[in-house]
Structure formats: structure tokens, C-alpha cells
Structure 1
Amino acid sequence: MGNIQTMSTSLANQIAAGEVVVRPASCVKELIENSLDAGAKQISVTLREGGIAQIVVQDDGAGMDEADAQMAFRRHATSKLFHERDLVRIHTLGFRGEALASIAAVSRVTLTTREGGSEYGVCVRVEGGEMSPVEHVGATFGTRIEVADLFYNTPARLKYLRTVQTEQAKSVETVQKAALSRPDVAFTCQTEHHVLFQTPGNGDVRAVLAALYGVGEAKQLLAIEEVTPDYRVTGFIGRPTQGRNSRAQAHLFVNGRPVRNVAVHQAVVQGYKNRLMIGKQPVYSIAIAMDPSLVDVNVHPHKAEVRFSEEADVCRCVAGAVAKALDETLLAPTPEGHRPREVSEAQPFALDFRPRQSDDGTGHEQRRASLGGTRLSYPSGARSQSPSARELELAYGKPATGQERENAVVMEGDGTSSNAADGLAQELFAQARKENWQLRPIGQALGMYVLADDGESLYIIDQHAAHERILFEEFYKRLSGREVHAMPLLAPIQLTLTPSVHARVTEAADRLAQLGLTIEPFGGYDVVVRTVPDVWEGLDVHALAEETIAGIPSAGASSEDFFQTMHDVIATRACKAAVKANWYLSQEELEALCHALTEVEDPFHCPHGRPIFLQWTGKQLEKEFKRIV
């Protein structure tokens, strides 16, 4: 007997299902596409346990007769392609003839359908690829498909599904994309408990966006349109201030099909020019209509990506449409007045000023400030080179000891000191700076920089970067020491989240509460923020809460990783309170800034990695002015 045999239909369908059915969202996508191709104007999607236990898709499109209802479950059966030439001019969404056969191979499917003019409906049940006898039943016009117990007969694939919240979020995002691609169709997405969202089906894309992301968000969007002989680009883009940390709200549709294309996304970003903040992603829903022969939709197993025959032309058209909308809407920003701030104005640099005796013993009181923060220590590698013996003497205010000089000489001689010697020198230098480093402010330049000296070097300090570092370390210290408390809001903040972000928030609610951020569900994918960390007091808590929620780690993060990430996010967001460019500081504020900078752990870099100051030693300045050869 030969070793090569033909696979059974059931086994072949299960293998084929691996390409089509990856998770519940895959089923939702295929079933919705069939409903749209059937001319449906109303589509309802119901999910139970995120779609793992049950998915029900019901439409009012053209139903099927008894013969078609049975034929639909055969592999490669289709009503959309008949000739090879049809592959280059695809107008439908589902066309491969594998969806129903693949879904039925790994689940229990019940199809109830009734075509126009028929006196009764037809019910077909398929379990694990095996079809039961057809039944005649009462039914409304259209089709209803129920997919139950997904992957019940393939446990190896079932165990790779994520949590119910994650799978539901993926499925809902699929329905959202379908609703955006077809605003003329009324979509309803619900669970067994409540309706998540509904769209009116009146053809207005902005109305769909309002249903998905909130009326306030939708109102700010800008309409775009660009028409060429080959392409028509329409849709909506967000203002630069609506930028997000991810591409969750970046939607692209080609001939009504939700797709991904990296080049087109970059074209959208290019259209914003320099208006988007670094690290932010644009919000958009863009539809491109073109001749089907100019795009290949059959390059991805899930039909999620497309290939354009003239990609450069498409990208140029998209970038032009985005740039035109922004250029016509946004006014050029005007610089703030170059005037010193009045003392009575709200001071973001809120420090406790108090007099301190000068170190020269004269009794002269200097106005200084203190954050009460951590003391200064220089991390290994912070300096470009190890301190010399002379620097150690200057730092300590006294001659260095023999051992200190010996270590310093070794480092000066060849620049390749051992780790032990380098570590000792760093420790000595750090201790010296803790006790003696004092910056004396000289003045302010260009509304952005503070000039200061410490008796040996001249410093140009970026006031924003320095204040960011001071605030970051203070906030981070409080977060790490669990000294942050929940600050109740007089007016709770209501936010509309994407399904994936909502899933992360739901899973992390208890952890967030420990950081002072209390978030409660408010129906659908809306949440209400009732308390925020008290380190945000006086700041734009609405914007900070929105950005922090978007930065919540994905499901599965350990407690240690979660809190580490959220510490960084909350503290970094709090640094928005730092002084900005063209904020002129009083002499007391300059002294407070310089003194606080000498107290932080890392005075070299802001939380984002930018340098805080430039330093010129007295010797370097003498060389520049030709005082020494």
C-alpha cells in the first residue's frame, strides 16, 4: 500500500481554517463581508464570551435558497468569481470561497436564511464539517449565522486564544472598521449583556466616528478630499493635537475594504509635516477609490494588505490631501510675548523658598530654594572622563589625599584606568559634589537658557530640561515610595476608548487604583476617571489621564513590569508642568532652579534623554580667548 493518500475533506478544511480563522475576530470579518456582499443595509453582530462561545451575525441582505445554503459550506464554493479574468477586477469583499467551510470545520455553525419571495426559511447545521439534514423554518428575510464553540475540536489552537476581554476587543475593532468602510449600512455591535455601539447607516462617516469615538472627538476632525483621474481620496483626519501613542485610530480603506499599507500611513504622516509631536500617530479614516485593476487585494491570506500598481502616485495623492486640509484649517502659531511673567501669575515652578547661610561664614543670607528631594549622585559613565586630582581638590575644597591623587594620576596618564579605580574616583567625585557643588545663576538668555557658574566652570542650562528632571525625580520618588494619593475630581472625566485600550484598562483597574488613578466603566467603551494621582495637582488632568491610559501595558505584563512602566508614564506626564521656553524667571526662581539641579540624581539628562547643560571649564575659556597657549 502506498504512503501517499488523499486527505479527508474534514482534515483538509481544518488545515485551510488555519489560514482563514485565527481568532473570533477572523470569523466576524468573514461573516460581515458576506453580509455586505449580499447587499445588507442592516447588520447586527452579537458576541458571547468575546466571540469564543458564540458569534451571531444577522443581516437583511439577499438570502439563499435550499441548494445555495448547502453549497455555501463546500470548499472553494463561491458566487463571486467564475473566470480567471475576474481576479484582476475584484469588486466584492469575500471571494475565495473558503470562509464558511473553514469556520464550520472548527466550530458548530447554524445557518438560517430566507431569500426574497420565499414562503419559508432554510436552516442548515454543520458541526466539525459534518452537515445535518436541511430544515424548513420560519425566518425573516436575510441571513442569520451562529458560530458556537470556536475551536472546540482543535484544543491546541483554542489554548492560544487570549483573554475574553482581548478577543472581544479584537472582534469589536473588526466591526468598527466595517462600519467605517460602509457608513451607508447600519451596524449594531452587542454582547449578551448590552449594546456596545450603533451606527445610523445614513452614509455620514462623521456620524460613524461619533458613534465609535465620541461626539467631541468627531467634531474636531477635518474633512479631506483629493480627486485625480485615477484616484479619489476622501475621509477625515485628526488635528495635530489629537495625535495618539498608537495607530489604533488610523483606518485605511481601499474600494471599501479595510486594509493596512505602511507606505500610505507614512504618506499621511508626511502630510502633517512637522505638526505632529514626536512619537505621536495621526488619527484618520481615509477611503481610496480606484480602478480595481490598479490594486491587488489577493496578496494576504486574510486580505488585510494590498499592493498598488502605482504606489508612489497613491501616496502622493494622500499626502497632498492631508497637507491641503491642514494648511487651509490651521493658522500659523504666533509666538508668546517676550515679557517677564508677573509675580502674581500662576507659577508652575512652585518651590519653597527659604534663606540659607552662605558657605563663606560671613553670615550673608542668600535666597535659595529646596525641593526636599534626593541628594545628588553621579552615575557611572555620566562624565565623559574621570576627574583629575585638581578637580578632586576643587570639588572637596581641600587638597586630595595621597590615594585620591594616585588614582587620579593613573586616570590622567593613560585614560584606561581599571574598573576599581574608575569606580572609586566616581564615588569620590559624587560625594564631593553632594557636599560642595553649588551653582550660582548669572542670568537668563533667549528666554530658554540659564547661565550659571560654580567657581570653576560656566554652564548654559536648558531651563525646561532641568526643571523636567527635577520634577521627574521628585514625582518618581513619591511613586516608588507609595507616597502618591488619589485626588478626587470635582468633575469626573469621561473618555471613549478603543476596544483594545478598554480591555487593558479593565484588566488593570485594580493596579491603576494603587497609583491614584480610579477608572470605572460607563457603558460600552466609555469610562469615567474619578481620581488622579495628587502629583498632577494643578495640571491638565484630562490630557494627562488620556495619555496615561493610552500607555497602559498590554495584558500579561508582570506586576513589576506594570508598575515600572506606569511609574515612568505618570512621572513623565507630570513633567508637563516644567517651565517652557520664553518663560522669564525671577532671580529667586533662577536660584531655586540651580540649587535643585545640584540635588538630583542625574543632572545631566532630562527624562527623555536630552542634555540639560553645556559646560566650559575656566581652562577651556582661557584657550578660546587666547589667554593661554
Structure 2
Amino acid sequence: MIQVLSNDTIQKIAAGEVIEKPSSIVKELVENSIDAGATNIVVEIKNGGLDYIEVLDNGKGIAKDEIEIAFKRHATSKLNDFNDLYNLQSLGFRGEALASIVSVSKVIISTRTNDEKLGHKVYFEDGKKIEERPIAKNIGTSIIVKDLFYNVPVRKRFLKSKTTEANSITNLMYKLAIGNYGIGITYIKDDKLIFETKEKENLNSVLTELFGVNIVDNLLEFTLSGREYKINGYISNNKYYRANRSLQYIYINGRYIESKEIRDSIETAYKAVIPNGRYPVFQIFLSINPKHIDVNIHPNKEKVQITILEEILNSIQLKTKEILNQEFSLPEIKSKDDIKENILFQEDNSIKDLLEKFENNKATNSISNTNTDKIEKIEHDNTGKINLDNNTTSEEDFNNFVFESNEYYSVNTNTQEDLEIKEDYNIEIEEVNFIKENDFNEYIYIGTIFKTYLLYEDRVNNRIFIVDQHAAHERVLYEEFLKEFEEDEVIIQELIVPITIDLKQDEYDLYLENKDIFGKIGYNVDLFGGRTIIIRSVPNILGNAKNEQLFLDLLDSISNSDKKDGLDSIYKKIIKNSCKNAVKAGDSLSEMEIRELLNKLMNCKEPYTCPHGRPTLIEMSKYELEKEFMRVK
């Protein structure tokens, strides 16, 4: 039998589209406050917003006789007819939010307009007004939401943990604070002040409050104008990047949106400028004639359609490339004496620094580098392509210089080998004649070819071995750290100059949740108040890695994983970075160092591949060699 649904059922079904989780409520209420002309907004949540949400503003308020109407479906002051959608200046317009909220929670609204001497407080429960009374109140509105989904228990069971829901609200509050700089926004979570931006503050000040000075110092101003649009904001330089897209923000006419097209147009300009798998930071604000935008795509209003999108994308990509070309930071060369005391802690010291092999892990690994012949300096021309200019440097000159931020420096091995680590290798091994622990002591060292491959002859069994010194040392470092880790004896490196990092609130919370993991792998971190931490020691195996960037990468890797995989993901990241400390292709080793490397390799549990799956050594029999010369069939 076909029947008309009850209003209560209709309300609850409709609420499911608009109110998916606590952050949906915060978003709708804060946007209402902004549309009401508020210059100061306070948001407070408790227990992830499941138990308590309050949004307080100094906007124009709601008149007494309109309060009950405001909580009815499709009641709005922002539209008169459908055509108004294409001249929309407000964030909200559907007239569904308050009706949806009141149908799935208990709501208390207190409000007063400028024309009223007293304010009014109204209690709603299960979508109905329970009580109303006059109160003394400043101009503006306060809405308190309690017991979310108390009457829809199935929906409540599908919510995430309170911590996860709180982090979702925190991320939302960052978006709202950035997108509405100039409005004072205070965010309180579980009775703790998370951040407070000031009225009339500029974007730079707001970003400093939210993210700290380090990020802001690495941002470049972005401005662009077209016939029907204007764009402004910031993009990061080539020295600052993250392992995920959590610091990318796009706004259209004050509204935060998700746009893969705009995001990709910016990221494309960073190719060959920042490492693969890393993402730029940006805050981009687009002001577009409303007639070119359709925001009526989804109830959350984060997806829009733009009729002039292609024109905007091309302009953004070209402008981003232009800014990066103008502001590109080339590596600096400094005398080693000038930075002797803080070489480990320069922010721009890359984990690829050539001097790491001279300064780090000599005592632990007994493998040092004694000679480097050539360095390639990579420069970018105006087309964005990379030009290689070989510059020969003597060993004496080389020992007197340190290269900072030298992701664009590499050892010239006079081969076409790509030294970038490949993650996937398909290795076919037909037959393995396992080498015993001390066999290499009995083999004859012939020499090193291409400054990379160690050549040994086994005259007893008529065969030769070719060892990749980089892959071999990777395996050694991997298993040394693995042993330390499993035995809870990770060797740490005390930092002479501790590293201070200002974290986002969700990053700070994520660290607190996983601080035992960081402690287990060798990090000694102190809390410094607010969202600031101080790193006092790091795992020794990381050497001269970019310690701040790496710590943030580790946090990002955990945030991208399930909690149960947090240790595994952080561990893999540690290993990947520790491998950068291995001797490189092109590093010259003495016979003593070579012998020690091979002894350590053959003591490994899995000596035949590096941690990434590449072979550490290959074998060739005399018969196979003679076949190549056609001496045998």
C-alpha cells in the first residue's frame, strides 16, 4: 500500500543527507553565523561533538517571531526563488540545516536582534519546541546541540570514535578560520583552547596562528586576475612540502571546496621542483562572478561546477610556474667551518646531502668515504627542464664544502644507472649457491668497477661475484636497526640544537596518541605548551636527515594509515630514510672498508637483497663467461 510518510520520518530521512556527523553540524552553524554578519564566533565541542556542540556569535540574531520558523524545512532568508542561486553571495541557502539538526538532537537556541531589548531562549527536542522564555543577552545567537542522534541509534553506531570525530571538527575549523580570515574565530575542544584568530587579522597572521612561523616563512604570494575572476593566496616554495594534501585549501567566493582539477593544476607546476610523492602547501582564494558557478550539487556544498573552469586552470598553472621560477631556491655552498657546530640541524640539510657519508655513522658502521671525483650540479632553465653541467672538484676542495638543500646534487658515476630507489623489482633466481659467512675472506678481491660494483673471484668454484655496494650497505643498516628495534635498544643521536616544531592541532593530537611509537624508534620529544613540541634526540640511523621534515612525514604516514598499521607505516618510513645513509654508487671505499661491509652483509639474515628487493650481489660462473666469448657451447 502506498502512503505518505509522516513529517517526523521525512525529517529524519532528510537529516541523513545534511547531517552525516558532528562536523556537519559545526559547519552549518558556523556558516549561518558568517551569513548573519558575525565578526566574532566561538565554537566549543565536547567528546567529539557527540555530547555537546555550541556555536556563539555576535551576528544580527533572529527575531522572536522567526525562531520557530527558522527550524522548519526549507526556511531561509537567503533565497526568494531558484534564479537567486546564480547570484548567491551567502554560504548557506537550502534552508535544511536547522531543521535537520533539530530532528536528530536536543537543541537550545538563545538569540537577540538589535531591535529587541531582551533575548529569547527556546528548547527543541525531537523536532518540537518544548519551552521558550525571555533572557538577558547580547546581540547575536548561541545554539547548543546535545545528544546527537539520541533518537536515531543506528546512525549513532556508525559514527567513528570520539577522537576521530573531534579531529574531523578540528580540520573543519582550520578550513573555516583560513577561509574567513578577518573574522575572529575561537575554537575550544574539551575545555581546552585550540586556537583563537582575531577580528580584522590578515591571512598571514591567521596562518601563523594556525600553523606556526616555519610554514609561513616558506609561502609565496599568489595573485591573478581575469575578466570574470580574481585569485589570491599563497603557495609554498620548493623547499617546503608534505607527505599528504592536508595543508591544501581552496575557496570559491569564501566557500571551502574540493576541486581535483584546481588541485592538479597547481601540483603539475611542482613536478621536478619537489620530490615525487610529496605535495605542495597552498591556500587559494577564487572570487568568481556567481553566474559562472553552480553550488547546488551536494548538500555539503563542497563541490561546485564552474563554467569557465578551463580558463581558470590554465591561468593558475602558468602563474604557479612563473612564481616558482622567480622564487626558486638554489642550493647554497658554505664553508664547512662556518657551520661546523650545527651541520646536523640546518633546516635545509637534505637526507641526500653528500657530506653525510663523511660526517655520519663512521663509528657505528665503520664505512666512510675517502674520495669523490665529480659532482653534477643540476639547474633549471626557463622551460622547467633540467640541465646538467659537470663541474670537476678536487677531493681537497670537496672536503672544505658542505652542500645545503642539495636535492639537486648527485654523484656522477659515469653510468646511466638511475640511483633513485625503486620499490618493485621482479627478480628471477634459477639457482642460488648460498655463500657461507666467511667465504668472502677466501675470495680474491679484483677491484671496483664504475665506483659502484665490487668484483670478487672464487677460484675454487670458478665463479665471480659482483656486489652492489649501495644495496649491500642498505641491507646492513636495515638489519642493524631491526635488531636494535626488536631488542628495544635503538641507538639515539642527541641533538646539540633541539628542533622546535609548531604542529596543527590534529597533528599534535596524533602525536600524543602515538608518542609511545616515536619513543620506541628513538625520538625524545618534550611538550612545550600549546601545540609546540621540542625534539631532543632522533634515531641514530637517520643520520643527518631533514629531521623536522621527516618527523612531519612520519606523522603524515600514520594519519594515512589505520591505527593498527601506524607502527608498520612509521617503521617503513624510518627504513626508507635510513637507507639514504648507505654508501652511494660512486663512493670510493678502501679494501678494509669493503671487507668489513661484506662481512657484515654475510652476517645478515637476508643478505641477498636490499630492503627494497633489489639484489645485493650477482654470481657469474666461468662457464657463463666463456659462453659470452663463444669459447664453449
Q: Is the 8 A contact 1:81 1:87 kept in 2?
A: yes
Corresponding position of 2:200: 202
Corresponding position of 2:268: 270
Q: Name which of 93, 96, 99 aligns with 2:94.
A: 96
Counterparts of 2:585 and 2:334 in 1: how far apart (Å)?
9
Of 113-122 and 305-314, more deviation after overlay is shown by 305-314
Corresponding position of 1:403: none
Of 155-164 and 575-584, more deviation after overlay is shown by 575-584
Q: Name which of 477, 482, 486 aligns with 1:471.
A: 477
TM-score (norm 1): 0.79
Corresponding position of 1:284: 282
Q: Name which of 36, 55, 58 aligns with 1:57.
A: 55
Alignment of 1:607 onto 2:611? yes
Change (3 A) 1:538 1:178: closer
Letter matched to residue 545 of structure 1: F
Please identify the structure whose Cα radius of gyration is greater: 1
Counterparts of 1:333 and 1:503 in 2: how far apart (Å)?
35
Corresponding position of 1:416: none
- How many residues are aligned here? 552
Letter matched to residue 275 of structure 1: V
Alignment of 1:385 onto 2:392? no
Alignment of 1:311 onto 2:313? no
Residues 524-535 of structure 1 mapped to structure 2, 5 A cutoff: 524-535=530-541
Q: Is the 8 A contact 1:258 1:304 kept in 2?
A: yes
Letter matched to residue 556 of structure 2: A
Q: Is the 8 A contact 2:121 2:135 kept in 1?
A: yes
Q: Is the 8 A contact 1:49 1:164 kept in 2?
A: yes
Superposed CA deviations along residues 340-398 of structure 1, whole A, max 9, x for unmatched, are x99995254545659xxxxxxxxxxxxxxxxxxxxxxxxxx9852322xxxxxxxxxxx
Corresponding position of 2:455: 452
Letter matched to residue 436 of structure 1: D
Q: Is the 8 A contact 1:226 1:320 kept in 2?
A: no
Of 118-127 and 33-42, more deviation after overlay is shown by 118-127
Alignment of 1:81 onto 2:79? yes
Counterparts of 2:588 and 2:35 in 1: how far apart (Å)?
63
Alignment of 1:299 onto 2:297? yes
Change (3 A) 1:4 1:285: same
Change (3 A) 1:131 1:386: same
Change (3 A) 1:72 1:336: same
Q: Is the 8 A contact 1:249 1:284 kept in 2?
A: yes
TM-score (norm 2): 0.78
Q: Name which of 440, 444, 448 aligns with 2:445.
A: 440
Alignment of 1:574 onto 2:572? no
Q: Which secondary structure does the structure 2 equivalent of 1:55 belong to?
A: strand
Corresponding position of 1:12: 10
Counterparts of 1:575 and 1:450 in 2: how far apart (Å)?
18
Superposed CA deviations along residues 252-272 of structure 1, whole A, max 9, x for unmatched, are 111211111112221111011
Counterparts of 2:561 and 2:427 in 1: how far apart (Å)?
39
Shift in Å at residue 129 of structure 1?
A: 0.5
Letter matched to residue 25 of structure 1: S
Counterparts of 1:310 and 1:604 in 2: how far apart (Å)?
56
Corresponding position of 1:480: 486
Q: Which secondary structure does the structure 2 equivalent of 1:104 belong to?
A: helix
Change (3 A) 1:55 1:322: same
Corresponding position of 2:27: 29
Shift in Å at residue 182 of structure 1?
A: 1.4
Letter matched to residue 300 of structure 2: H
Change (3 A) 1:605 1:185: farther
Structure 2: which 5+ residue stretches go unaligned? 336-353, 368-424
Shift in Å at residue 45 of structure 1?
A: 0.8
Q: Is the 8 A contact 2:454 2:467 kept in 1?
A: yes
Corresponding position of 1:346: 359
Change (3 A) 1:96 1:342: closer
Letter matched to residue 180 of structure 2: R
Counterparts of 2:34 and 2:357 in 1: how far apart (Å)?
63
Counterparts of 1:193 and 1:164 in 2: how far apart (Å)?
15
Structure 1: which 5+ residue stretches go unaligned? 355-380, 388-425
Counterparts of 2:232 and 2:213 in 1: how far apart (Å)?
20
Q: Is the 8 A contact 1:351 1:592 kept in 2?
A: no
Shift in Å at residue 174 of structure 1?
A: 0.8
Change (3 A) 1:14 1:382: closer
Q: Which secondary structure does the structure 2 equivalent of 1:136 belong to?
A: strand
Q: Which secondary structure does the structure 2 equivalent of 1:93 belong to?
A: coil
Q: Which secondary structure does the structure 2 equivalent of 1:312 belong to?
A: helix
Counterparts of 2:326 and 2:619 in 1: how far apart (Å)?
44
Q: Is the 8 A contact 1:548 1:573 kept in 2?
A: no
Change (3 A) 1:41 1:613: farther
Counterparts of 2:121 and 2:257 in 1: how far apart (Å)?
33
Q: Which secondary structure does the structure 1 equivalent of 2:43 belong to?
A: strand
Q: Name which of 548, 554, 557 aligns with 1:548.
A: 554
Q: Is the 8 A contact 1:183 1:203 kept in 2?
A: yes
Corresponding position of 2:523: 517
Counterparts of 1:45 and 1:342 in 2: how far apart (Å)?
50
Counterparts of 2:429 and 2:190 in 1: how far apart (Å)?
65
Shift in Å at residue 328 of structure 1?
A: 0.7
Superposed CA deviations along residues 207-248 of structure 1, whole A, max 9, x for unmatched, are 111111112221221111222223322211223332212111
Q: Is the 8 A contact 1:64 1:114 kept in 2?
A: yes
Counterparts of 1:616 and 1:304 in 2: how far apart (Å)?
61
Shift in Å at residue 107 of structure 1?
A: 0.9
Counterparts of 2:183 and 2:475 in 1: how far apart (Å)?
52
Shift in Å at residue 291 of structure 1?
A: 1.7
Superposed CA deviations along residues 415-442 of structure 1, whole A, max 9, x for unmatched, are xxxxxxxxxxx5xx23x35453558362
Of 524-533 and 34-43, more deviation after overlay is shown by 524-533
Of 244-253 and 202-211, more deviation after overlay is shown by 202-211
Q: Which secondary structure does the structure 2 equivalent of 1:272 belong to?
A: coil
Q: Which secondary structure does the structure 2 equivalent of 1:15 belong to?
A: helix
Q: Is the 8 A contact 1:224 1:236 kept in 2?
A: yes
Shift in Å at residue 73 of structure 1?
A: 0.2
Q: Is the 8 A contact 2:106 2:125 kept in 1?
A: yes
Change (3 A) 1:268 1:539: closer
Shift in Å at residue 35 of structure 1?
A: 0.9
Shift in Å at residue 580 of structure 1?
A: 4.7
Root-mean-square deviation (Å): 3.3
Q: Is the 8 A contact 1:109 1:125 kept in 2?
A: yes
Shift in Å at residue 601 of structure 1?
A: 4.4
Change (3 A) 1:609 1:285: farther
Shift in Å at residue 577 of structure 1?
A: 2.4
Q: Is the 8 A contact 2:543 2:581 kept in 1?
A: no
Counterparts of 2:314 and 2:617 in 1: how far apart (Å)?
42
Q: Which secondary structure does the structure 2 equivalent of 1:135 belong to?
A: strand
Letter matched to residue 91 of structure 1: Q
